[in-house]
Amino acid sequence: MDKNSTIAYRQATTWRGVSFAVAAILAGTSPLALQAQELKIAMSSEPSSADPHYHNLTPNNQVVRHVFEPLVFQDEFQAIGPGLAANWKIIDDVTWEFKLRANVKFHDGSPLTVEDVIFSLNRVPNVPKSPAPKTAYVRGKTIEKVDDLTFRVKTAKPEALMLNHLANIEIMSAKAAATATTEDINAGKGNIGTGPYQFVEFVPGDRFVVKRNDAYWGQKQPWAKVTFKFIKSDPTRVAALLSGDVDVIETVPTADAQRLSKEPKVTVSSALSNRLVYLHMDRYRAETPFVKGKDGAQIKNPFHDLKVRQALTKAINRPAIIDRIMEGEAVPASQMLPDSYAGTSKKLKPTAYDLDGAKKLLAEAGFPNGFKLTIVGPNGRYTNDTKIIEAVAQMFTRAGIETAVETLPPAVFFSRASSGGPDKQPEFSMILAGWSAGTGEPSDSLKSLLGTYDTKLGRGSANRGRYSNPAMDAVLDKALATVDFDKRSAMLAEASEIAMNDIGLIPLHYQKNSWAAKKGLKVTARTDEYTLAMSVKP
List pLDDT tens digits, range 54-86: 999 899 999 999 999 999 999 998 889 999 999
Query: Rounded to whole angstroms, how far apart are CA atoms 40 and 533?
Result: 9
Strands 402-408, 372-378: parallel, antiparallel or unpaired by DSSP?
parallel
Q: Which residues of the chain have pLDDT under 50?
A: 1-35
CB 471 within 8 A of CB 500: no
State how far the Cα of 120 lies from the Cα of 111, in Å rounded to an integer: 15
3-state secondary structure of 6: helix
* 184: DSSP letter: H
Alpha-carbon Rg for the chain in angstroms: 23
At residue 518's C-alpha, the angle toward residues 514 and 521, to 5°, is: 85
- Among 446, 410, 470, which Cα is nearest to 136's? 446
Q: What is the pLDDT of residue 258?
A: 83
Which is nearest to 417 in space by CA: 451, 460, 376? 376
Q: What is the DSSP letter of 91?
A: E
* DSSP per-residue string spanning 447-506: IIIISPPBTTTTB-TT-TT----HHHHHHHHHHHT---HHHHHHHHHHHHHHHHHTTSSE
Q: What SS3 state is found at 415?
A: helix
**Amino acid letter at 82?**
P
- Look at residue 36 in the predicted model and tell me its pLDDT: 58
Residues 313, 97: Cα–Cα separation, whole Å:
46
Q: What per-residue confidence (pLDDT) applies to 352?
A: 98
Dihedral of the alpha carbons of 241, 245, 249, 254, in degrees to the nearest 10: -40
What one-letter code names the amino acid at 270? S
Between CA 355 and CA 467 the distance in angstroms is: 25
Cα 31 to Cα 538: distance, rounded to the nearest angstrom: 11
pTM score, whole prediction: 0.77
Strand 150-155 versus strand 95-100 pairing type: antiparallel
Domains of the chain as residue ranges with CATH: 3-29+46-194 (3.90.76.10), 274-512 (3.10.105.10)
